[in-house]
Amino acid sequence: MAIGEQINLRPHFETMTLPCEAEVGDLIVLTPLKEGDVDSSPQGLASLWFCIKSNAQERPAVWARVQFDGIAHCNITVPNPPQTHPELRQG
C-alpha cells in the first residue's frame, strides 16, 4: 500500500530523443524499452528530463536530465541524501 500521493509519468517508450518544442517546467520520461518489456538492466533504463529553456523561433527547447543519487526498493530503508553539495549562498 502506498503512503501519500504518487506521481506516475507515463514513459515515452522506444524513444531516446527529446522533443524540440517544450515549455519550461515540462517533464518527460524516456526509455528505449518497448511497452511491457522487462527491464533487465542493473540500474534501469528510464531517464527523467526537465525542460529548462523553452523553444523560440528556430531554437529548440533545452532539457536537463534529472540525476538520481540513490537506488532503493520497498524492502530496505532508503539511504541518507549525500552531503557533498556546495553550500547555498545568496547573491
Q: Is 77 among the domain residues?
A: no
Each residue of 8-28: pLDDT tens digit? 889 999 999 999 999 999 999
Each residue of 30-62: pLDDT tens digit? 999 999 999 999 888 999 999 999 999 999 999
pLDDT confidence band for 71 (50 / 70 / 90)? confident
CA distance 68 to 72: 11
CA distance 42 to 45: 9
- Total domains in the chain come to 1
Q: How far is CA 70 from CA 39, 43, 44, in A?
A: 18, 10, 12
Using the predicted structure, report yes or no on whether residue 68 has a pLDDT greater than 60: yes
Q: Is 62 among the domain residues?
A: yes
Tell me the helices (H) and strands (E) count for the chain, helix number first: 0, 3
CA distance 19 to 55: 10
The C-alpha cell at 68 is 538520481
Q: Is 41 among the domain residues?
A: yes
Which residues form the domain of 58? 8-68
Q: Is 84 among the domain residues?
A: no
Q: Is the dihedral of CA 72, 77, 80, 81 positive or negative?
A: positive
